[in-house]
Structure 1
Amino acid sequence: MHAIHIVSGGTGASAEQVVRTVTAQFPSSEVAVTVHAGIRDADGTVVHTLVSAPLRNLLVRSAQRRGIVEIDLAGKLIERLSWVLDKPAAGQPGRYRQLRSEYFSRIEAIEYAVEHDDGRNSSGWPQADVLVLGTSRVGKTPLCMVLATQGWRAANLPLVPEIPPPADLHRVVPGKVVGLTIDPSRLIEHRTWRARVLGLPAPSPYVDLARIEDEVEEARLLFRRNGFAVVDATDMPVEELAHAVMKRVER
């Protein structure tokens, strides 16, 4: 982007009109026009926060040659941190805004994951970056929270025997849906622990190996019929699982 600065003792309106008339002849180019109006004396002060060292030094030298007072709000701190941390500064304008934007994106993603956990608010699935499907205790919620910390809006749906998925599933782009599968012998371990925590009576269909095998197979058939990507979560740490999902999804 090219910058044009108009300095005027009045409003600068006449000069601005001429400049904008001319820049309109270059519609494919970005030109930033800034008007500095009401300049009546030479006693002004230039305050700057340029993070690019070459630009900062150029401004300082130019101000000194013209006897203009300039105050560098960023340079000394940048130089100090570069020396203390023993590494050069990035020198990239707009980094703070970018970091804040990334931070708020993560916050929004975490809020989305909480609101769309365990099949809730299925009407919002089309806005998801990824929709995770899987049987109970396959690891959907922890996975979605890890994805959310990376700025991904992740929803999840538990697949329950005899209960068909909501119709909203067909409103989601298939490339954004990931099915988690797991070895039944590992899944029964997860469910047995969960059953004890919940105080479920034994024996229970929830921890019946034959039923679990049927659930896992039904889930695989669902994934195959709809062309969903499949990731095996057996013995995979949640961080690695999140990485595998991000590689498979068309974000």
Structure 2
Amino acid sequence: MTIDTTLHIYLISDSIGETTTKFAKAALAQFPTANTVLHKFVFISNKDALIPVLEDAKSNNGMVLLTLANAELSNLSEEFCREHQIFLYNLIQPVTEEIARRTGLEPTHKIGAQHDLSEEYFNRVKAMEFCMMYDDGKDPKGFIEADIVLLGISRTSKTPLSMYLGNLGYKVANLPLIPENQVPNILFEIDANKIVGLTTFDKVANLHRENRMREYGMPSGTKYASMERVNHELKFAHDLYEKLNCLVINTAERSIEETASIIIQELNLPIRA
């Protein structure tokens, strides 16, 4: 059996194609050495636009990932792929059909309905603005209004984690912990259940800091990057976390997404997406 050296995946959507793209990348992450080409076709709204894409998928022995709200176009795609033995995975239609069966309701078939400028959308924008305003300890007053307060020494992913959670709609403030700086009293006045202490392994922090020094054209053997300094900061942070009695998460071997999921679950926050 001959195995194609290049895998062609066709992402077909009647909207911006965000769902098919995320789905494909999640699956491909399991095959880091695979030689793949993603063909993305968005705002497909009629047969004239759809058929050439399917023909191209046929010529490349491609896989098709589909999100089409229009039942006619969705069915046409499935019939074409079945006839020509093309792999097709329909991300939307089977689920909407089952929801319709269980609820007795008819789907609207509205294209891109999840991207409407809703109250949820504007809440996410406000959350992102909040995260930028209260990033890096700019104003401790933000701790009062924040849904989540992140604490951590340098290189524990405070800012990227704040921005990721902000994009989900959570108002996040973060504070870098430096032993020489006084911890704001307000930290001991707010609800400890919304405080998250971020930590890491000393060797990981040391490596990140040395790399950062090199990126800035500075010698890696600075006090900031030394193991002695890293351990001093980690002890300071852990002593504070113990006083606050807050949730502590080690970010060293976790992705931003994984850490965010743990925070949402452990703080019992409402799911937003």
Question: Which string of whole-angstrom CA distances, capped at 9 and with x for unpartnered residues, describes residues 60-112 of structure 1?
Answer: xxxxxxxxxxxxxxxxxxxx8233345345459xx779861111111111111
The 4+ residue runs of structure 1 with deviation greater than 3 A are 88-92, 95-99, 199-203
Match of 1:227 in 2: 245
| Matched residue count | 171
Structure 2 counterpart of 1:105, from 123, 132, 154: 123
Alignment of 1:61-72 (within 5 A): none
Matched residues in 2 for 1:170 and 1:151: separation?
A: 25
Q: Does 1:244 align with 2:259?
A: no
Q: Does 1:84 align with 2:102?
A: no
Q: Against the structure 1 CA distance between its residues 141 and 108, is the aligned structure 2 distance closer, same or farther, given a 3 Å change threshold?
A: same
Matched residues in 1 for 2:177 and 2:261: separation?
A: 22
For the 8 Å contact 2:224–2:230, the answer to whether it is kept is: yes
Q: Against the structure 1 CA distance between its residues 149 and 97, is the aligned structure 2 distance closer, same or farther, given a 3 Å change threshold?
A: closer
Question: Which string of whole-angstrom CA distances, capped at 9 and with x for unpartnered residues, describes residues 163-218 of structure 1?
Answer: 12112222321000000110000011111111222334553210110120121122
Question: Which string of whole-angstrom CA distances, capped at 9 and with x for unpartnered residues, describes residues 11-52 of structure 1?
Answer: xxxxxxxxxxxxxxxxxxxxxxxxxxxxxxxxxxxxxxxxxx
Matched residues in 2 for 1:162 and 1:204: separation?
A: 17
For the 8 Å contact 2:211–2:220, the answer to whether it is kept is: no
Percent identity between matched residues is 31
Matched residues in 2 for 1:90 and 1:168: separation?
A: 49
State the TM-score, normalizing by the size of structure 1.
Answer: 0.62
For the 8 Å contact 2:210–2:220, the answer to whether it is kept is: no
Question: Which string of whole-angstrom CA distances, capped at 9 and with x for unpartnered residues, describes residues 115-160 of structure 1?
Answer: 1100012112111110000001111000011101111111110000
Alignment of 1:36-47 (within 5 A): none
Q: Does 1:184 align with 2:173?
A: no
Paired amino acid for 1:82: A
For the 8 Å contact 1:175–1:250, the answer to whether it is kept is: no
Match of 2:229 in 1: 211
For the 8 Å contact 2:210–2:221, the answer to whether it is kept is: no
Matched residues in 2 for 1:230 and 1:249: separation?
A: 11
Matched residues in 2 for 1:236 and 1:96: separation?
A: 29
Matched residues in 2 for 1:225 and 1:84: separation?
A: 60
Tell me the SS of whatever aligns to 1:230: strand
Matched residues in 1 for 2:119 and 2:107: separation?
A: 18
State the TM-score, normalizing by the size of structure 2.
Answer: 0.57
Q: What is the CA distance between 1:250 and its match in structure 2?
A: 4.5
Question: Which string of whole-angstrom CA distances, capped at 9 and with x for unpartnered residues, describes residues 218-240 of structure 1?
Answer: 21111111111001101211111
Give structure 2 stretches of 5+ with no counterpart. Answer: 1-68, 76-92, 97-105
For the 8 Å contact 1:176–1:250, the answer to whether it is kept is: no
Paired amino acid for 1:140: K
Q: Does 1:138 align with 2:127?
A: no
Tell me the SS of whatever aligns to 1:180: strand
For the 8 Å contact 1:134–1:181, the answer to whether it is kept is: yes
Aligned-residue Cα RMSD (Å) equals 2.4
For the 8 Å contact 2:152–2:198, the answer to whether it is kept is: yes
Matched residues in 1 for 2:144 and 2:249: separation?
A: 21
Matched residues in 1 for 2:147 and 2:235: separation?
A: 26
Paired amino acid for 1:122: P
Tell me the SS of whatever aligns to 2:118: helix
Give structure 1 stretches of 5+ with no counterpart. Answer: 1-79
Q: Does 1:175 align with 2:164?
A: no
